[in-house]
Amino acid sequence: MRGSGALIGMALLAAVAPAAAQSWPQRPVTFIVSQSAGASPDVMARMIATKLAAPLGQQVIIENKPGAGNVIGAQAAARAAPDGYTFFFATSAALVTNPYMVKNLSYDPVKDFVPVALVTRSHQVIVAHPDVPAKTLAELIALDKKDPGKISMSVDGARNLAGVTAQALNKRAGTQFVLIPSVNINNGLQDTITGRTQTGIFSASIVEAHVRSGALRALATASTHRLVAAPDVPAAAETLPGFDFSGWFMVMAPAGTPGEIVNKLNGAVAEAARDTQVRELAPKLGFELDPKGVGSPEDAAEFLKAQLALWARTTQELGIEPQ
Amino acid sequence: MDLIQNLWFGFGVAVTPMNLLLCLIGALVGTLIGVLPGIGPLATIAMLLPITFGLPPVGALIMLAGIYYGAQYGGSTTSILINIPGESSSVVTALDGHQMAKQGRAGPALAIAAIGSFIAGCFSTVLVAALGVPLTALALKFGPAEYFSLMVLGLVFAVVLAKGSILKAIAMVMLGLLLSCVGSDIETGQSRMAFDIPELADGIGFVTVAMGVFGYAEIMRNLEQEESREIVEAKITGLMPTWKDFKDSAGAIGRGTILGSILGILPGGGAVIASFAAYTFEKKISKNPERFGRGAIEGVAAPESANNAAAQTSFIPLLTLGIPPNAVMALMVGAMTIHGIVPGPQVMTKQPELFWGLICSMWIGNLMLVVINLPLVGVWVSLLRVPYRLLFPAILIFCAIGVYSINNAPADAIMVAVFGFVGYFLVKTEFEPAPMLLGFVLGPLMEENLRRAMLIARGDPTTFLTRPISGGLLAIAAILILLALLPMIRGKRDEVFVESET
């Protein structure tokens, strides 16, 4: 009796599941953001969330679960029911940095999630105080080699994006820039503007204004291509081939979420990203939308795989151990 | 006469029905979230940001600025009424403000806080308008070494303002510094004193500690002595300050305003240090310093004027340089960029209507706060008449919800309870929580700046003494410590004389 009950139950479930996916969403959908309200992933998530209401026919609610370097939010999302009502507005730090930085990570970015869509990337710029004689990245490298260890470089933290980028730069170029980490990146920015640190690596959004006003000189973007917003700033990869460190946001579903729901949400995110207001505002905040549009869930999965490989290689080269 | 012309132009921008309405909404929302424990201006502005996309840029910024200083003021209301500082800058207000409330003088305390804030707001608005650009140069001179020395000075203030034993105050500052070390090392990311608990990995939140050691501890102490509450209810006298109150606090407001305006320009911790500094200063120059901590109205007027002036002048680095001094300001930069305004020196020349409009709206916002809050004083005070058996569970529930809502983390609510017991123990053993809280707030800033300064100087500690501003600040700190210790060195006689009245 009990067995047949379970069988009937499973049969019912099987019959209901596709129907549930078709009529999804029936109630508001939650996006977990692993940083606090007002942080850059939160700003982007809220911008997309308001534009998702139309294609989904339901509100998207942002739930901030900050803490422990994205671990708390990611863990909550990984353990959420895969019913299509909880998703993770994931940061690159949560998906590809943490696995190589945090020992005994409480979630697995590949096994616990299914990629839905890569939303935006945000690029970093290597800048120098105007008094620094170097006009290009190559000149800066040469300057350091002439008198090693004299040039300071403001970064976020040794194990954060800009910090790892700077260490990778030192490794690749054979330089000895001294990393000056600041918890609040604006302090680091002020150090570079006043020349207390000669150089710094910052996200494009926060230095753009200062580069334009002449307070800072942009030497290179820390990526393979030039930015649409600043086409005359060379890419670091033009000097150091393949050099590419950027942050990005990807919508992830808990593993086991029905494929139809994933595809439907992917379509809705793509539509939200095509919205003219989003197209106009996102670049101003330093988020780069792919001009070809948001790719498929498969594109996102492929991108994630490549990024994981990049971080595995980089952390190994730099001798960064999880702790 | 450029200044007057510019201000006139700014008022023209700010005083449109639409902008006045936005200013009022901002100030109202700000006051509300300031009064609700735990919900800070940062989260509120973040959530309202999408709404402002549709507004004209000047209006959007006017509203956001209104929220910011509304919250500053609302935070003091809870400090005075229920001994729960909503913002780090209103910790000191609780010292004398809550004592006044206990003596039935919550009305005058709230009113003088509003009036002091308004006067400070008026002065610092003019200051921002007149000296914004030259003052920026001063702010830029403050590098990591200068900040570190400023923080040292701030901690010395905390020791000096203590009303009891200096040794105990130093112990509390140290405890605060120690608590602030919980979390991740800023350079290596190595976890410190977190015991592998992910909720501790980012350290302990300010609200968690403040709510626990001030609020919960206060509730426990009240429950212990039931009858004292009835006395408070019976004692509520006038709602407005008396002529004597005004005379007593006039000087304090003036000095608090000046100190606050100067320290506010320095990003990070400026407003907190300003409130502590103003309080310490008042206590030092007072003819009878033993009144402080026991309901002295100057002890409310000075820090409230100082933190409001600081909140105002903290716009200077943002408007003139585009460098946001704190997280709230960083969001404002986000709001500006969304509207296509690039913050920085060019704002003043390229968008004069925004620059001057915002400055004038600061003044209008302050006026609104007085208009909103003076009538509300009666409402707040009547809260104290609510029977305590109803009031205290309500406070506990609001605190629990508030602290949970910051990170959506249940662990935070538990931690507040733990700090409640810690606070109760401290009160019982006559350790003052205020110096601990200052140590706790300044600890991380101090550490970061110390390490950054040392890294930039390539490990040379004399950098703190050879840089003139930094050396000067350290010298003042040393003198203050000497002054505080003198009575102890001279013999116990005068100290006993002053302190035995407790």
The predicted-structure confidence for A104-131, as pLDDT tens digits, reads as follows: 899 999 999 999 999 999 889 999 999 9
Final residue of a structural domain among A238, A257, A286: A238
Q: Which of B191, B198, B342 is the closest to A212 by Cβ?
A: B342
- Torsion, Cα A265 A266 A268 A274, to 10 degrees, reads 160
Which residues of chain B have a CB within 8 Å of the CB of A230? none
Give domain status of residue A9, yes or no. Answer: no
Give domain status of residue A173, yes or no. Answer: yes
Within B339-351, residue ranges assigned H as helices are 346-350
What integer is the mean pLDDT of A36-60?
86
Higher pLDDT: B205 or A295? It is A295
| C-alpha distances out from residue A213 to A130, A234, B117, Å | 11, 18, 35
Distance CA B130, CA A223 (A): 43
- Among B residues 421-460, those touching chain A with beta carbons less than 8 Å apart: 444, 448-449, 452, 455-456, 458
In 3-state terms, what secondary structure has residue B396?
Answer: helix
Cis peptide preceding A25, ω within 30 of 0: yes
Residues A39, A187 share a domain: no
Supply the DSSP symbol for B211.
I
Domain of residue A107, CATH code: 3.40.190.150
Residues A187, A88 share a domain: no
> Please, what is the average pLDDT of chain A?
88
The confidence score (pLDDT) of residue B422 equals 94
Which residues does B179 contact at the CB level (< 8 Å), separation at least 6?
B204, B209, B436, B439, B440, B443
Give domain status of residue A296, yes or no. Answer: yes
Residue A11 pLDDT more than 50?
A: no
Structure tokens at B433: 């929580």
In 3-state terms, what secondary structure has residue A276?
Answer: helix
For chain B, the domains span 2-499
Residues A227, A295 share a domain: no
Instruction: Please answer whether residues A122 and A247 qualify as being in contact, where contact means their C-beta atoms are separated by less than 8 angstroms.
Output: yes
Distance CA B440, CA B181 (A): 9
The confidence score (pLDDT) of residue B340 equals 65
Residues A250, A116 share a domain: yes
Integer distance in angstroms from the first to the last C-alpha of chain B?
A: 55
Which residues does A280 contact at the CB level (< 8 Å), separation at least 6?
none
Distance CA A166, CA A162 (A): 6
Q: Work out the number of other CB atoms within 10 angstroms of the CB of residue A292.
A: 7
Which residues of chain A have a CB within 8 Å of the CB of B43? 36-38, 64
Confirm whether the ipTM is greater than 0.90: no
DSSP lists the bridge partners of residue A114 as: A253
Instruction: Please answer whether residues A138 and A239 qualify as being in contact, where contact means their C-beta atoms are separated by less than 8 angstroms.
Output: yes
Q: Which amino acid is at B432?
A: E
Residues A112, A155 share a domain: no
Q: Which of B50, B140, B337 is the closest to A285 by Cβ?
A: B337
Final residue of a structural domain among A238, A263, A285: A238
Give domain status of residue A130, yes or no. Answer: yes
B185 CB within 8 Å of a chain A CB: no
Structure tokens at B484: 């505080």
The confidence score (pLDDT) of residue A33 equals 93
Residue A19 pLDDT more than 60?
A: no
The confidence score (pLDDT) of residue A89 equals 96
pTM score: 0.78
The confidence score (pLDDT) of residue B216 equals 86
Of all residues in chain B, the one with the smallest CA distance to A320 is B188
The confidence score (pLDDT) of residue B488 equals 64
- Among A residues 214-273, those touching chain B with beta carbons less than 8 Å apart: 215
The confidence score (pLDDT) of residue B106 equals 86
Higher pLDDT: B207 or A315? It is A315
A152 CB within 8 Å of a chain B CB: yes
Distance CA B348, CA B354 (A): 8
The confidence score (pLDDT) of residue A3 equals 44
Number of domains comprising chain A: 2
Instruction: Please answer whether residues B255 and B302 qualify as being in contact, where contact means their C-beta atoms are separated by less than 8 angstroms.
Output: yes
Report the relative pairing of strands A152-155 and A199-203 from DSSP bridges.
parallel
Q: Which of A195, A251, A250 is nearest to A56 (CA)?
A: A251
| A4-18, A55-69, A229-243: the lowest-pLDDT one | A4-18
Q: Which of A140, A143, A127, A125 is nearest to A217 (CA)?
A: A127
Give domain status of residue A4, yes or no. Answer: no
Higher pLDDT: B271 or A248? It is A248
Residue A157 pLDDT more than 60?
A: yes
3-state secondary structure B37-98: CCCCHHHHHHHHHHHHCCCCHHHHHHHHHHHHHHHHHHHHHHHHHHCCCCCHHHHHHHHHHH
DSSP lists the bridge partners of residue A115 as: A252
* Alpha carbon of residue B502 to chain centroid: 28
Q: Which of A50, A181, A215 is the closest to B186 by Cβ?
A: A181
Report the relative pairing of strands B191-192 and A29-33 from DSSP bridges.
unpaired
Domain of residue A130, CATH code: 3.40.190.10
Distance CA B93, CA B85 (A): 8
Final residue of a structural domain among A238, A269, A287: A238
Query: What is the tens place of the pLDDT at every residue in B84-134?
Result: 877 777 888 888 988 888 888 888 998 899 889 889 988 888 888 787 767
The confidence score (pLDDT) of residue B499 equals 43
Domain that holds residue A230: 124-238
What integer is the mean pLDDT of A168-193?
89
Higher pLDDT: A45 or B403? It is A45
Residue A133 pLDDT more than 90?
A: yes
Residues A109, A251 share a domain: yes
Of all residues in chain B, the one with the smallest CA distance to A98 is B189
Residues of chain B with pLDDT under 50: 492-502
The confidence score (pLDDT) of residue B496 equals 43
The confidence score (pLDDT) of residue B269 equals 64
Residue A80 pLDDT more than 90?
A: yes
Do the chains contact at A215 and B344, CB–CB below 8 Å?
yes
Q: Work out the number of other CB atoms within 10 angstroms of the CB of residue B122.
A: 17
Residue A142 pLDDT more than 80?
A: yes
The confidence score (pLDDT) of residue A9 equals 47
Residues A132, A61 share a domain: no
Which residues of chain A have a CB within 8 Å of the CB of B449? 187
In 3-state terms, what secondary structure has residue A88?
Answer: strand
B411 CB within 8 Å of a chain A CB: no
Residues A116, A250 share a domain: yes
Instruction: Please answer whether residues B463 and B453 qualify as being in contact, where contact means their C-beta atoms are separated by less than 8 angstroms.
Output: yes
A194 CB within 8 Å of a chain B CB: yes
The confidence score (pLDDT) of residue B227 equals 58
A86 CB within 8 Å of a chain B CB: no
The confidence score (pLDDT) of residue B236 equals 63
Residues A108, A55 share a domain: yes
Residues A129, A114 share a domain: no
Give domain status of residue A13, yes or no. Answer: no
Q: Which of B267, B345, B435 is nearest to A214 (CA)?
A: B345
Give domain status of residue A5, yes or no. Answer: no
Integer distance in angstroms from the first to the last C-alpha of chain A?
A: 52
The confidence score (pLDDT) of residue B37 equals 64
